[in-house]
Structure 1
Amino acid sequence: MCDHCGCSDDHHQHHAGEADAAHRRAHELGLPRHHHHDAPAADPAVAVILKENDRLAERNRGFFLAKKLLVLNVLSAPGAGKTALLESTIRDTKARWRTAVITGDLQTENDATRLRAAGGIAIQITTGSACHLDAHMVMHALEKLDLDALDVLFIENVGNLVCPTLFDLGEDARVALWSVTEGEDKPVKYPQVFQSAALTVISKTDLAAVTEFKRAEALEHLRAIAPHTEVIELSSQAGTNLEAWYRWVEARLHAKRAQKLH
């Protein structure tokens, strides 16, 4: 873990060395700017990193808009069920939209292998010591995809509830997953991820009784810190309420297709 966001200094030095190539690629695409968030000013080094990330995220976002591609950044703690939800989504929505996943982990291609086995297109980003994806990583992963053949791109971020919230990837919206096995107070412990999410998915609801999950208390905590976020409760394992999730994605896709270029 590093001094500022959980990533190693080596990681950021490595990507800084590759930045010129990524910037040239972005300029070739002719992508517009769209500032997403302000970088914290407490640490000048962090501010520089986040400012550069925002610049590349703006370019990703413009590219996605030009392609009418819906991009959802899926965040959660490790083991909350991101991959399981995306496996179900790939299997169940093949007739509704064309999907790919960019998935991030510190090591292994295990999640990408699972997603491919479900019938999906999956690009694995192995981050090493970095506990989040950034816009630069995503930009390079896009080179491996035929975006004209896609409707929806899911970005399955590294399992972490802190650092990924700082890094805009150019997504249209964030989806926060929160498993009933994590307890009722996750939103008050890690408010930023839920505050940045358009949708909160409460997952593994089939285990609610076993874990004695207090639903009313959990929702009260969530509403206290993120009153704007929509909520869907589901179980990928049991298949419960997955259709509500699919309808939410579909509505976002229709809205994206209706957007106009600036």
Structure 2
Amino acid sequence: MHSHDHEHTHGDVHDHAHGDHDHDHIGDHSGYETGSERIEVLERIFDENDAAAARNRAALDGAGVVAVNVMSSPGAGKTALLERTLADLGAHVRFGIVEGDIETSLDADRLDGHGAQISLLNTGNGFGGECHLDAPMVHRALHGLDLDALDVVLIENVGNLVCPAEFDTGAHHRAMVASVTEGEDKPLKYPVMFRSVDVVVVNKIDLLP
């Protein structure tokens, strides 16, 4: 546990999430003798996650809160964007932050002091949770926030361009941060992420030649 004034909720969730599209991403399990069983288990997990995501949205809607799932590759600038958002809008909008990291509270610490409620999720002990947040994780994190006292919840997902795009957290909107330092090929290499979001924030444009 960390000794901070804001709420730190730790996740070690064993369920996976799935977004609003089909399950083609499950992949080819034919090389495993248990291939068909694996697919059946994954389908059940995805269905359970979708139900959990719907419950998250219902809780948010009931409190009149809008949630945004913010995604990117590691180091693209998600936390910096959230810092600037809190600094510029914190006096007018009541923010809650769900901070997802594999380990440490470093990003949550950076966002502390801006007046936002913060709930930390460390995913390192989760089953595959190292690569993304899912709806059950976010459900537990929301219990660390007083939703009735908030207007917007920003979910900072784990830095990854693959898994977070596939898994529904219950957020109303999806955004991603794309740094110019990542190269112009990223939309081609990670099309699911770029297609799944409502907005792409292009970051670090000051580093363009």
**TM-score exceeds 0.5:** yes
Q: How many residues align?
A: 180
For residue 48 of structure 1, report the CA deviation from its aligned partner. 1.7
Which ranges in structure 2 are unaligned for 5 or more consecutive residues?
Answer: 1-10, 28-38
Structure 2 counterpart of 1:128, which letter?
G
> Which residue is 1:73 aligned to?
69
What is the root-mean-square deviation in Å for CA atoms of aligned residues? 1.9
Equivalent residue runs for 1:107-146 within 5 Å:
107-128=103-124, 130=129, 131-146=131-146
Equivalent residue runs for 1:20-99 within 5 Å:
36-40=20-24, 43-99=39-95
SS in 2 for 1:15: coil
For residue 92 of structure 1, report the CA deviation from its aligned partner. 0.9
TM-score, with length taken from structure 1: 0.65
> 1 CA distance for matches of 2:49 and 2:23?
10
For residue 74 of structure 1, report the CA deviation from its aligned partner. 0.4
1:186 equivalenced with 2:186 (yes/no)? yes
Alignment deviations for residues 186-244 of structure 1 (CA, whole Å, 9 cap, x no partner) = 101100011000001111111112xxxxxxxxxxxxxxxxxxxxxxxxxxxxxxxxxxx
1:15 equivalenced with 2:14 (yes/no)? yes
Q: Which gives a bigger RCO, structure 1 or 2 (Cα 8 Å, sep 6+)?
A: 2
SS in 2 for 1:107: coil
Alignment deviations for residues 57-100 of structure 1 (CA, whole Å, 9 cap, x no partner) = 01111111122211000010000000000001111102221111
TM-score, with length taken from structure 2: 0.80
Which ranges in structure 1 are unaligned for 5 or more consecutive residues?
Answer: 1-10, 17-34, 210-262
Q: Is the contact between residue 180 and residue 208 of structure 1 (CA under 8 Å) also seen in structure 2?
A: yes
Q: Identity, % of aligned pairs?
A: 48
Structure 1 counterpart of 2:14, which letter?
H
For residue 116 of structure 1, report the CA deviation from its aligned partner. 0.5
Equivalent residue runs for 1:142-161 within 5 Å:
142-161=142-161
Higher helix share: 1
For residue 166 of structure 1, report the CA deviation from its aligned partner. 1.6
Structure 2 counterpart of 1:88, which letter?
R
> 2 CA distance for matches of 1:146 and 1:195?
32
SS in 1 for 2:208: helix
For residue 118 of structure 1, report the CA deviation from its aligned partner. 3.8
Structure 1 counterpart of 2:22, which letter?
D
Q: Is the contact between residue 118 and residue 145 of structure 2 (CA under 8 Å) also seen in structure 1?
A: no
Structure 1 counterpart of 2:157, which letter?
N
Alignment deviations for residues 155-192 of structure 1 (CA, whole Å, 9 cap, x no partner) = 00000011111210111110011001001111011000
> Which residue is 1:168 aligned to?
168
SS in 2 for 1:138: helix
1:196 equivalenced with 2:196 (yes/no)? yes
For residue 51 of structure 1, report the CA deviation from its aligned partner. 1.0
> 2 CA distance for matches of 1:48 and 1:162?
21
